[in-house]
Structures are given as C-alpha cells and as structure tokens.
Structure 1
C-alpha cells in the first residue's frame, strides 16, 4: 500500500511539473500574441505611421493651456497605456508633460510621481495649477525645486468644507525660492474667514517673480501688514494686474502701496473709499504706466478729482466702470465732453449696472459722444435686467445715436440675462 501511494505521489508530481511547464509555455504564447498584436497595431495605426512632429501635435491637442482643467494630469498618463507606439510618442513629446493640475488632498505617491513627470518635460517651461486644501507640503517642495522652470502658476480653493481660521500659512515649511520664469500668477477663491492671506505672502510671491507679465488675484481676503507694505517691489514686465476675474466685477486690493509697475497696460480694481483712491493716485504717480485699459468699481468718492487720475494715463483707450451712481457717470461724461485733452485716445467706454437711469444720463452721453465723435467709437451699457420704458433713451436720443453711427460711433445696450438688447449702428 505504501508503494502504491508513493507511485501516485510521483505521478502527481510529474503531472504538476508538466502543468507548470505548459503554463509557462502558455504565458509565453500569450506574451508573444500580445507583442504580435501590438506590432500589428503599430503597423495599422495611422498615428504611428505619421512623422513624430505631427503625431505629437495630435496628442498635444488633448491638453488645455496654460492651466489644465481638473484631471488633465491624467491625460498624458492615459496615452501611455494605449499601445507601445503611443507610449513612445508620448515619452518623446516633452510638451505633453509641462502642464499639471493637482487637486488636494492628493494621492500619497504623488510626491514620487511628480518628479518623473517634470523630468519628462525636460527643460520646457512648466504650468502648475493647484486646487483644494490643505496643500501637501511635500508636493509643494517638489514644485518649488522646479521653480526655475515654472512659467504659469495658479492656486484655487476647492470645496473642502473644512474650517481653518486665522491667517493661512501657505508656505509653511517649504517657502518657494526665486521664480525667474514665472509669467502668469493667479490666486482665486479664498474669500472667506476660514482662509486669510497675509499681505506678506502675496508680496513674497511677487518679489520672487521679477518677470511676471500677468497677475490675477480674485476673491481673496488679505490682511494688511504694515511692515510688508513698506516693501518696494518693481515689476517692469507686468502688463496685466486684475483684482477679480477678467471681464467681471473687480474686487478690493491692498497691494498697491508696495508696487511699481512701469509697464502696466491693463488694470482692474475696486475703489471703495478715499484711502483706495489715494493709493491709486500714488501708484500712478510712482509707476507712470502706459495704461491702455482700466476697469474700476467705485461710487461717488473721488469723482471731482477724477481728472487728475486720468491725466496720469494719457494712453488710456478703454474705460470700464461697474455699478456707478447715475450722477457719477453724468459728471464723467461732462469731463470728457469739456476736456478733449483728457484721455484723448479713449476709444471704448463700458458701463455696468448703473443705478436708475434718467433722461439727463442719455442727454449727457449723447453730448459726450458728439464731442468725441472722432475718438470715442464704442459705448456699451450692460445691465442685469432689461431697462424699463422710463429708463430707455428718448426718441431724440436714439436719433442722435443713429446720426453718430453714420460716422462710426456704436452705442449698444444689452442685458446679461435673456436676449434683450438694442444696438444703434
């Protein structure tokens, strides 16, 4: 009986050995099949048959620039998993790896994967967008190590629901170093008591970015810092400074005091009080910028002194005003009509949501447009809801607008909501 059992054990062992051998052979056959299938895919794949320059450009069309949308970090990774030919193309295209959107809290392994991604970008300029809180300090450290390559940088608060309180220590433990290549800086969406920036944090970022060309600070709660405000930051290449979203309602700011921007061409800001007006005046005198576009939100404060502000920006071509009182606009119209040397290059005037409009508003506007018919060619009035019959221009005003249209002046009234609009040209 013992002998029979031993024979069966040997038989089972031999069968297992044969099974293992056949499994290895099967795995090899499966691997050979996969390889052959990939080779066939490469032969038949139209992308693989294209020159690398063209196939790379096709891949690049799948990305957003300069700031990718959430999930864009994974698009280039997805291209690695299609076939070997696509993997080769993706790895041979550094531009695929330059833009990264990172959402916090992030995966624990991201701090190890991010250096690999940046390495694949070679020496290309990098675009990084961060959203959510809290920021992972290890991930920030990786980003700052590549600060020399950073060209576009955005921070956006996500919907985390976590209460923080006090001043948020953005760079705690890993302050950024010099950012010589940074051109675009955007910080958005922290307007709450839970996340408060110190003025010093903003000024440090600006100070480390000497070649910045565009800065967007939107919906931020910034605590003034008397010591940091004494800093003198000169950014000769900054062309666009926007407090708020481009094309939308401007927000307050507290950073004028420390800035000199001799190349500024576009400014969007809010002027809620006399101190803000004084800061703007000091800034314009200190910087003497070639300002071409100015967007402001203000009430009647400072309107009597407006000429001294406009005299400092003689190159202004576009003026956009949000939520003004009617008498403020009538005063501005009178200044423009009576002083042709005031902003002589003004070509476009846009008014957003003024208070109740009266006949005197339309009369002052028509006089101003007539006085400046050779310079001021576009007037736009944008309101939330359609104007009532009493707020609409009278027939005499409409006739004046249509007469001006013959000479090239365009008057356009529209509502944000609905399809209501009137164009007189």
Structure 2
C-alpha cells in the first residue's frame, strides 16, 4: 500500500470518527464498539504510514534497540536527554526504550537534599527495575547519612550491582556510618568497581569496617578510597583488634588511596586515604597503586609486597619523610615488573632527598619505563646529579629509561604557571639526554623548559 493511499484512508477514517462523535450520547453509546474499531483502523494506518516514511521504523526492533544503546545516555533523570527523551517521541520508541534493559543500567541518585517531588524514590525504583537483572552502575551523591529507603533501594539490587560510586558531603562521619548503613548489608557478588569520594575527611578509629567491606566484594577489580584517615590524635589507638590474617582479594588490580590531583593542589597537606589498610591486605593481581598518604613504615610496605608478589606496573606515592632516601630501593625490590613510577615531593622534604631516593633505585626496577616527579619548583635541585642519574639509567640498565617528567607545581597550585628558568649548562646537559633518545620534560606541565 502506498503512502498516498494510506493518507486517504487516514483522512476518511478521521472524518467518519468525527461524524460519529457528533451523534447524540445515546447513539454514541450504542455505536461505541464501531467507534473503537474505527480508531484502531486509523491507528494501524498511521503505523503503516510511519513505517513507509520513517527509515528507523522499518528496521528490525533489535537494531533499533541497539541504536538507542549506542547513543550516549545520562545517568541523571533529565527528560531532555537519553534515555528519558526516547519515552516522549512516539509510542514505538517508548516501547523500544522500555524493553531495552541496557538503557537503564546507570543511575545517579541524589541523597540529600532530595528533590521536592515525593515520587523521586519511586522514579528511581522504576528506572532500576527496567534494567532487569543486567549489571548495574549506581552513583549516590549527597550527605553521608543515608535514609532507610535509599539503603533498601541499593541492597535490593546488590546481587547485580557491578559499579558503585559514593560522592559524600560533610566533614566528619560517625564511626563506620557509611559501611554500616549501606555497604555491609550482605554480599556484593559481582561488584567490580568501588569508588568512595568525600569532600571532607572521614576520620576512622578502626579499619575493620573497611576490611569487611572489601571482604563483601570478592570480585572487586578497582577500588578508590578518598579522604578516609586514621587520626591517631583523636582516637589514639584501634578501638578493636584488627584482623589477624590479611584479606586476600584475588581480582583487585587497581587500588587508589587518595586523589593525586587533590594532593598536587597543596603539597603541604595530606590528602587521600590511610595506607595502613595495606597491613591487612594481600593483592596478588595488583597492577596499579596510588598512595597519597603514606602512614606505613618501610618494613610494613615491603611485607605487603612480599606476601602479594603482585605484577605491579604503576606506582604513585608521596615522598613525605626522609627515610625514603635509604629504603626506597629495598622497598621496591619485590616488584621488578614496575614500569611507571610517580613521586610527589612535599615541600618539607629538601630537593636533595629526591636525588638520594633516585640513587637508591639504581640496580632495581630493571624495566622502569617512565619516571615522573612532582615538586614545588626546580630551585635548589642539583641538576648535575640528576643528569648523572638519568644517564646511568640509560646506559646501565638492560631496558633503558624511556620517559622522564619533572613537573614544577607553583605556589598557586596551578602547575602550568610555573616560572622556573634553567641555567644554560643544565639545558645543554638535559638536551643531550634528549638527543640520546630520552623523552624529557622539565618545568610546569604546560611548558617544557627544554624547548
């Protein structure tokens, strides 16, 4: 049937329906079945016409559903953005969207203050319900204290929760509040990503809740904890005995204790999460480790690496105490797989300490590819010793160092605005390393002083 014929049928059916609707109520009641049949015929004709005129409608439903999935959707309930906008286009698109579970597997829930609409949680339940049993990703954003309805919403779906992010507000959390209220309600058998961010410090007096949290997620692959600190000045000691045996997490590949960017904004202030948790973990699959608060001692960190024997490839850590200069080499000897090392020097550590740390690395880290150092500025740094170290890594190692980054972080915490200038002799020496094949950047992030 052609589009012209369908249009004629739609006009004819519309005229007939309008005429029937003008009849008296008694006649209309007696002809209600006929009227419904006419409306169904018109709806069917419109569907056929849409199929002829709209290429999308002619595609198999599976293809249309995949197209919807390929459109970047928003996890927030915005009616002007996918997937909600699909519900308001036409009946066909609405049906496809409601029957495509993959569209509803990501959701951001605002904890407090909740939207004034009393149906907000019902809306969230309906959204998640459309995902069926598909792997679920949730972002919970708001204050630390969670209401019972929100707790129940999450725990009802914890069996297929794959990614969980908490973005918490507030500057002090009651001990164990976060883990008790939502994260310790049972097992999270398929949880792969856990990201907990806090604008304020979550002070802890025990690590047991956090160990229990990790124990509840045996398939965890990536974990990021921010601003969770053991504050000995307040608590003095653990309130309860710590675990007697380290917890083994066989799948955890990426562990970030803190936010590196936040640490770079103020090199004199500790940011991050307590590294003490490493005392009680064994991570045989660990490949990436970021530490922005290093409150372990060297033997504890070495013991963690010795029992884990991880295939560690990337390590980022704060240099905040002088003992790094003598112990760094021995600490990292258990991880000969390390390819990327990033050191962040606080301003209380003299520049000479960094050089002694680097010299302690001679003979270890045989496959080190990239070395990155963040420091306040290049002033007082002995560039001649630095040049000798870089040269030795180029000629003495079986696999030469390929990339060296020395970033200066200015006083206003914006690395791109540093103004350090290098002596001409230093420039000549470092440029020689560049000619020998080393990729070198010295200066603020946005400006290489060697160029």
Shorter-chain TM range is 0.7 to 0.9
TM-score by length of 1: 0.79
Q: CA RMSD for the aligned pairs?
A: 3.5
Residue number in structure 2 paired with 1:406: 435
* Contact kept in structure 2, 1:299 and 1:328, CA below 8 Å: no
Distance 1:120 1:271, change over 3 A: closer
Report deviation, 1:190. Answer: 4.7
Structure 1 unmatched runs, 5+: 1-15
1:420 paired with 2:447, answer yes
1:97 paired with 2:104, answer yes
Deviations 1:72-125 (A, max 9, x none): 797423322221111122133221111111111345445545454344323321
Q: 1:375 aligns with which of 392, 400, 423?
A: 400
Distance 1:365 1:121, change over 3 A: same
Residue number in structure 2 paired with 1:236: 250
Distance 1:365 1:189, change over 3 A: same
Distance 1:328 1:380, change over 3 A: same
Report deviation, 1:132. Answer: 0.9
* Contact kept in structure 2, 1:210 and 1:235, CA below 8 Å: yes
Distance in 1 between residues matched to 2:372 and 2:26, nearest whole Å = 80
* Contact kept in structure 1, 2:377 and 2:409, CA below 8 Å: no
Distance in 1 between residues matched to 2:364 and 2:401, nearest whole Å = 12
Q: Secondary structure at the match of 1:376?
A: coil
1:153 paired with 2:164, answer yes
Deviations 1:30-50 (A, max 9, x none): 998788666655543343333
Distance 1:208 1:358, change over 3 A: same
Q: 1:117 aligns with which of 122, 127, 134?
A: 127
Superposed, 1:162-173 pairs within 5 Å as 166-167=174-175, 169-170=177-178, 172=180
User: Does 204-213 or 391-400 show the bigger shift?
Assistant: 391-400
Residue number in structure 2 paired with 1:5: none
Superposed, 1:258-407 pairs within 5 Å as 258-273=280-295, 275-303=296-324, 304-324=326-346, 325=349, 326-336=351-361, 339=362, 341-354=363-376, 356-358=378-380, 360=382, 362-373=383-394, 374-385=399-410, 386-388=417-419, 391-407=420-436
Q: Secondary structure at the match of 1:148?
A: helix
Report deviation, 1:251. Answer: 1.9
Distance in 1 between residues matched to 2:48 and 2:327, nearest whole Å = 75
Distance in 2 between residues matched to 1:404 and 1:165, nearest whole Å = 50
TM-score by length of 2: 0.75
Distance in 2 between residues matched to 1:322 and 1:108, nearest whole Å = 48
Q: Secondary structure at the match of 1:393?
A: coil
1:131 paired with 2:138, answer no
Distance in 1 between residues matched to 2:68 and 2:450, nearest whole Å = 43
Distance in 2 between residues matched to 1:39 and 1:220, nearest whole Å = 60
Report deviation, 1:211. Answer: 1.0
* Contact kept in structure 2, 1:156 and 1:188, CA below 8 Å: yes
Residue number in structure 1 paired with 2:190: 181
* Contact kept in structure 2, 1:190 and 1:220, CA below 8 Å: no
Distance in 2 between residues matched to 1:91 and 1:294, nearest whole Å = 44
Residue number in structure 2 paired with 1:215: 223
Residue number in structure 1 paired with 2:413: none
* Contact kept in structure 1, 2:255 and 2:286, CA below 8 Å: yes
Report deviation, 1:368. Answer: 1.5
Q: Secondary structure at the match of 1:170?
A: helix
Distance in 1 between residues matched to 2:142 and 2:44, nearest whole Å = 42
Report deviation, 1:376. Answer: 0.8
1:204 paired with 2:212, answer yes
Distance in 1 between residues matched to 2:207 and 2:119, nearest whole Å = 33
Distance 1:301 1:31, change over 3 A: farther
* Contact kept in structure 2, 1:196 and 1:220, CA below 8 Å: yes
Deviations 1:177-211 (A, max 9, x none): 11121111000015247x86963332222001111
* Contact kept in structure 1, 2:343 and 2:374, CA below 8 Å: yes
